[in-house]
Amino acid sequence: MSDEKKATVGRRDFLRKVGIGTVGAGATLATPLVGPGRADSENNDEKRKARYKETDHVKAYYRVNRYPT
């Protein structure tokens, strides 16, 4: 019985191999997702415009939750 070779992989060796495979697959998948950088398309006036609008439902939310006006 002692002459038989075990074909099992140790727990740590298994985790190392799985980790290396995951890193390789992640690098392969992430490469096509990276696109070329683009410049900002807004001019200075558009960057400074007001984006937040206090509408009726926002006012009702503030009133119900007792935020100071």
Q: 27 or 67: whose pLDDT is higher? A: 67
Task: Give mean pLDDT, residues 2-31.
Answer: 64
Task: Give mean pLDDT, residues 1-14.
Answer: 64
pLDDT of residue 23: 57
Q: Are the C-beta atoms of 62 and 69 separated by less than 8 Å?
A: yes
The residues near 9 (Cβ < 8 Å, ≥ 6 apart) are 17
Query: What predicted TM-score, i.e. pTM, was given to this entire model?
Result: 0.29
Q: 9 or 6: whose pLDDT is higher? A: 9
pLDDT of residue 25: 58
